Chains A and B, each alone.
Chain A
């Protein structure tokens, strides 16, 4: 059974990736999960400097999902390289770093620093976080902004560049095309949906930041649709995510066109989910007479049913 996945110059041993913001810096799970058995991990978004994030409450559960407004609390790129990356290397984790920036220059600077560090496998560009005021989603909601960030980072790194797209746009496929034209190696989607919830007794928003990002099974069908649209529109590998909680969900994304998948919210519910997902995928491939994961990608049958 070959579960291998090529993402640009990178080859993952399987398509299962821990989603950024849902797996800390990876080291938090080192005792629980064999990090080297995952296709990759995407660590929490990093700016140049440390960030404090939003005050609590930072999450609230909603029907089949959750809202979060963490505000990208983080230790900054330098402390990450010093304090976390060595352990990730030692544990042979394939480490993708989620790169944040308030300005174009910051994306470039953080990417340059990470490209010089030992042990970073790829850069995921966070142009889609809905919870910060400056940068981020501002780039991800404009085609020119997306193109500008991707092409600027492309110039300073040989690592695979993977912009993470926001679903909070009218036509996500056009953003995948903009990323492709700017030299991206893949795209990942979707980040969370901008959303909110109100306590009707107090009439106060349930999150301190008022608005947050919706994730979990609630968003899955929309995410599958968006992966399908991007698959139609570009030749780039697509890393699909949005409410994946079972092997069946990962397989659905693959059939829609995702080369690999990320799992976020479901990891909160079950940190031991990874081998379960992998076994479920292997069982499915066996049952369908497939020996390679890649043979499943984008195989949705669109013929009219009689």
Chain B
């Protein structure tokens, strides 16, 4: 069950002119959040902005005794709300509703896991990597961005033992091109009978490419979709995604409660806006 925490801003780490990581003191959310879940944030009282916005939970923050103390989010400044979150000074209050949504599936016993991230789509993978590391799963992060300076937190992943495959569109670090290129090569060279879990989050084009590669190699992939949301609770029906399940006619489902994590093979990609 989600809770609404009037969370104080802890640290605000600005990574660049438009990206920051914002720590929020929300122990009640941190204690129950699972990898892939999200929170709905309202950075200011009043009516501008009016609605909350969804954010993946980036990290679970702990106090010196190891108890859950808060969460962080990876924010990209694009509008009024995200600008307020970029500028938020420690002590400011942010209404934080969560945890919400269907988390990633973590297999038991653990199998090797590949996480595929594009840009701010890195957000849900820090907690997933930590959960997989605790289970002893071998993990790789395929992580693409426009430029080298937009590849954040690679050290955070290396610390928990995640192998890195990087790409940049301008060739300034890692593979020159899209992250789906090295993912495709890795899939092609992997033995078909070796179990593998694939998780992806990023721009729609990237996730669609991951879905297609996974399908071609007979692999299941989970994608975390970011849709425009009004409430995050299933009340408004604004965040719908068209899915095809079994023999059903493709139909809209709410990504806030049936997602944001979906089986990539279910998504009707041609109808996915955004």
- The verdict on A8 contacting chain B, using a C-beta distance below 8 Å, is no
- Using C-beta atoms within 8 Å of the partner chain, give the interface range for chain B: 20 to 34
Chain A residue contacts of B2, Cβ below 8 A:
32, 271
Chain A residue contacts of B52, Cβ below 8 A:
268-269
Docked Cα-Cα span, A267 to B230, in Å, equals 10
Question: From residue 231 to 271 of chain A, which have CB atoms closer than 8 A to chain B?
Answer: 245, 265, 267-271
Spot the interface stretch: A22-30, A182-190, A191-199: A22-30
Residue contact A55 to B1, C-beta cutoff 8 Å: no
- The verdict on A52 contacting chain B, using a C-beta distance below 8 Å, is yes
Chain A residue contacts of B267, Cβ below 8 A:
none
Q: How many A-B contacts at CB < 8 Å in the complex?
A: 103
Name the residue of chain A whose CB is nearest to the CB of B271: A55
Docked Cα-Cα span, A217 to B50, in Å, equals 9
Chain A residue contacts of B271, Cβ below 8 A:
55
Overall SS of chain B's interface: loop
- The verdict on B190 contacting chain A, using a C-beta distance below 8 Å, is no
- The verdict on B231 contacting chain A, using a C-beta distance below 8 Å, is yes
Spot the interface stretch: A60-68, A122-130, A134-142: A60-68
Total residues of chain A contacting the partner, CB 8 A:
37
Spot the interface stretch: B22-30, B129-137, B147-155, B234-242: B234-242
> Within the complex, what minimum Cβ distance (angstroms) separates A56 from chain B?
5
Residue contact A65 to B50, C-beta cutoff 8 Å: yes
Residue contact A66 to B50, C-beta cutoff 8 Å: yes
What sequence of 0s and 1s flags, for each residue 268-306 of chain A, a beta carbon within 8 Å of any chain B beta carbon? Answer: 111110000000000000000000000000000000000
- The verdict on A53 contacting chain B, using a C-beta distance below 8 Å, is yes
Chain B residue contacts of A21, Cβ below 8 A:
236-237
Residue contact A64 to B233, C-beta cutoff 8 Å: no
Residue contact A31 to B235, C-beta cutoff 8 Å: no
Overall SS of chain A's interface: loop
Name the residue of chain A whose CB is nearest to the CB of B249: A52
Residue contact A23 to B252, C-beta cutoff 8 Å: no
Residue contact B252 to A270, C-beta cutoff 8 Å: no
- The verdict on A161 contacting chain B, using a C-beta distance below 8 Å, is no
- The verdict on B166 contacting chain A, using a C-beta distance below 8 Å, is no
Chain B residue contacts of A267, Cβ below 8 A:
231, 235
Residue contact A28 to B235, C-beta cutoff 8 Å: yes
- The verdict on A73 contacting chain B, using a C-beta distance below 8 Å, is yes
Residue contact A59 to B233, C-beta cutoff 8 Å: no
Chain B residue contacts of A29, Cβ below 8 A:
233-235
Cβ contact of B238, chosen from A23, A56, A64, cutoff 8 A? A56
> Within the complex, what minimum Cβ distance (angstroms) separates B274 from chain A?
7
Residue contact B257 to A28, C-beta cutoff 8 Å: yes
What sequence of 0s and 1s flags, for each residue 209-242 of chain B, a beta carbon within 8 Å of any chain A beta carbon? Answer: 0000000000000000001101101111111101
Chain A residues within 8 Å of B, Cβ to Cβ: 21-24, 28-29, 31-32, 44, 52-53, 55-61, 63-66, 68, 70, 73, 208, 216-218, 245, 265, 267-272
Chain B residues within 8 Å of A, Cβ to Cβ: 1-2, 4, 42, 47-52, 95, 97, 227-228, 230-231, 233-240, 242, 251-252, 257, 271, 273-274
Apart from the given pairs A32-B233, A56-B239, A61-B49, 7 other A-B contacts in the complex at a CB distance below 8 Å? A21-B237, A22-B231, A32-B2, A61-B50, A73-B237, A73-B252, A271-B4
